[in-house]
Amino acid sequence: MSDNILRMSGITKTFPGVKALRDVTLSVRRGEIHAICGENGAGKSTLMKVLSGVYPHGDFEGSIEFDGQPVEFRGIRDSEHAGIVIIHQELALSPQLSVAENIFLGNERARRGLIDWNRTNYEAGELMKRVGLRDNPTRQVSDLGVGKQQLVEIAKALSKNVKLLILDEPTAALNDDDSAHLLDLLRGLRDEGITCVIISHKLNEVISIADNVTIIRDGQTIETLDRQDLTEDRIIAGMVGRALDNRFPPHEPTIGEEVLRIEDWTVHSPAQPERKVVDGASLTLRRGEIVGLAGLMGAGRTELAMSVFGRAYGVNISGSIYKDGVRIEPKSVGEAIEHGLAYATEDRKRYGLNLIEDIKTNITAASLKGLWVDEAEEYRVAEGFRKSMNIKAPGVASVVGKLSGGNQQKVVLSKWILTEPDVLILDEPTRGIDVGAKYEIYTIINQLADQGKAVLVISSELPELLGLCDRIYTLAEGRITGELSGREATQESLMHLMTKGNPR
């Protein structure tokens, strides 16, 4: 227990009216991978902001000791200078610049005020090799996928002689391959002597990679678990303060008539019109049924859903849609809504909500018809959803941007339920939501099915699909590669179908 690279003790951070952190203690040993787990709002990010100097010294109580020295950071520059680098969930890269330019942004390789491009690109190339990024340093960052962009961030951190690397939800947006690669990379960095702190909701990853796990709940340190004590249930129990025997509410489906049938659905990419993003996909949904759509990132899940939803994505779309046995051709989102379709997006902040407006305005946004807005009725409807969906907010006039992820998602669901759809497509309905709120969302999905609606759930988390769905389709490279009943499916069988290549 001797060599701690970081020791934060007695950290208390108060915002007006609320204590975000209460006497938090965090010790990180040199050369380990240390995970921090906690529900959203538990105080993880606030703690990291304290550490990195976003909240300057004096803005909080308690002391920080780094590398054997007490430190008083006044800003991010101070902490970076000491060797602490944070990689945030939302990547901070400049998309129009090259990989090399991004790596050395703010830290340019220059001689007499002029940039030395040869040295920049050469050194960037060396750093890219270290993180296993095989690409050209002059490539524009926006051309890279999210996984590779994450690696660019790490290369950037390495260029600053990082001693302690902090990653906030590094794999949230990555597919399984990229995640695995990233975790391998972190193990490699650990072997080189770089200490990592990783904040993650993905408990299986935490268990596979962490040497120690500190659990934070309600702004307090609950416990630090050693490697041999790690199990998912143990961590969850610490995070929620209770044992979760079952992460999925029990559900007995009553499956009825077919309500939606999609046949031979083909969609081309707007960016590359010759490329098929969805290729001859066919699927059916029945009343009262929860159907899963599994696929790796880039398999075309979201593209399939959005193209069906009034051609909100894609060009040169062919195929047919039957609603209750009758062929429909929704050409706009408005028509799709009229036909009883609803689509809740995977990125609720960018595509789902008007964050500067209040709860009631967002809930009614897809249901307004005619000339006038009946404000009394709007209030009554929104208040009804706030109670039935348990949206935690002072009132329906609260601004949506200030709600937590789980509550925002409940607003999105309310908005679509209000359109009285027969078919709901939920794209990553629990992304970025903590364990307790996930259970609530699952319960809502079950209730929707019980009301006779068909629900199509798109998710990257296979346990979620297995726990929730009556039937699961797998999608690979735009093609439906399999259909399994919820009972017979396993993570292995799904993964096998999801990675099934194009027979060519």
Partner 1 sequence: MTTTTAPAKQEAAAPGRRRFSLNLRSSGIYIAFALIVLLFSVLTDGALLQPQNISNIIVQNSYVLILAIGMILIIIAGHIDLSVGSVVAVTGALAAVLMVNMGLAWPLALGITLVAGGLIGAWQGFWVAYFGIPAFIVTLAGMLLFRALTMTVLGNQGIGPFPDEVRTLANGFTDGYLGNIGLGPLGGADLFSLIVGLLAIAGMAASQWKARKGRLGYGQAVEPIALFTGKLVVGAVLILFLVVQLARFKNLPWVLVLLAALVLGYSVLAGRTVFGRRIYAIGGNMQAAVLSGVKVKSVVFWLFVNMGVLSAIAGIIFAGRLNQAGPTAGNSFELDAIAAAFIGGAAVQGGVGKVVGAITGGLIMAVINNGMSLIGSPSERVMLVKGAVLLAAVAFDVWTKRRSGAGR
Please, what's the b/e burial string for 87-114 (b: 16 or more CB within 10 A of its CB; e: otherwise)? bbeebebeeeebbbbbbbeeeebeeeee
C-alpha separations of 318 from 264, 293, 328 in Å: 8, 20, 13
Among residues 323, 366, 493, 495, the one that binds partner 1 under rule CB under 8 A: 366
Among residues 108, 368, 491, 502, the one that binds partner 1 under rule CB under 8 A: 368
CB atoms within 10 A of CB 393: 18
Is 446 one of the binding residues for partner 1 (CB under 8 A)?
Answer: no
Among residues 32, 43, 305, 414, the one that binds partner 1 under rule CB under 8 A: 43
C-alpha separations of 351 from 166, 313, 456 in Å: 29, 13, 19
d(CA 298, CA 476): 8
CB atoms within 10 A of CB 497: 21
| Six token digits for residue 87 | 């990689």
Residues in contact with partner 1, shown as a per-residue x/- string from 378 to 407 under the rule CB under 8 A: -xx--x---------xxx-xxx-xxxxx--
Return all residues near 449 (Cβ < 8 A) that are at least 6 apart. 251, 253, 288, 289, 290, 455
Among residues 28, 45, 259, 482, the one that binds partner 1 under rule CB under 8 A: 45
Nearer to partner 1, 457 or 480 (CB): 457
Nearer to partner 1, 297 or 365 (CB): 365
Beta-ladder partners of 19: 14
Is 452 one of the binding residues for partner 1 (CB under 8 A)?
Answer: no
Choose one: 41-49, 225-233, 279-287, 318-326; the region binding partner 1 (CB under 8 A).
41-49
d(CA 375, CA 412): 19
User: 328-347: which residues touch partner 1 (CB under 8 A)?
Assistant: 332-334, 336-337, 343, 345
Beta-ladder partners of 424: 342, 455
Beta-ladder partners of 258: 286
d(CA 354, CA 361): 9
User: 409-438: which residues touch partner 1 (CB under 8 A)?
Assistant: 415, 432
Among residues 5, 6, 24, 46, the one that binds partner 1 under rule CB under 8 A: 46
Return all residues near 188 (Cβ < 8 A) that are at least 6 apart. none
Is 370 one of the binding residues for partner 1 (CB under 8 A)?
Answer: yes
- Minimum CB separation from partner 1 for residue 42, in Å? 7
User: 73-132: which residues touch partner 1 (CB under 8 A)?
Assistant: 89
Amino acid 403 reads L
Nearer to partner 1, 117 or 379 (CB): 379
Choose one: 95-103, 159-167, 364-372, 465-473; the region binding partner 1 (CB under 8 A).
364-372
Nearer to partner 1, 75 or 249 (CB): 75
Choose one: 11-19, 113-121, 458-466, 477-485; the region binding partner 1 (CB under 8 A).
11-19
Nearer to partner 1, 401 or 463 (CB): 401
Nearer to partner 1, 8 or 124 (CB): 8
d(CA 21, CA 28): 18
CB atoms within 10 A of CB 491: 12
- Residue from 319, 360, 28, 366 nearest 196 by CA: 28
Among residues 170, 238, 295, 352, the one that binds partner 1 under rule CB under 8 A: 352
The contact set with partner 1 (CB under 8 A) reads 15-18, 20, 40-46, 89, 168-169, 199, 309-310, 312, 332-334, 336-337, 343, 345, 349-357, 361, 365-366, 368-373, 375-376, 379-380, 383, 393-395, 397-399, 401-405, 415, 432
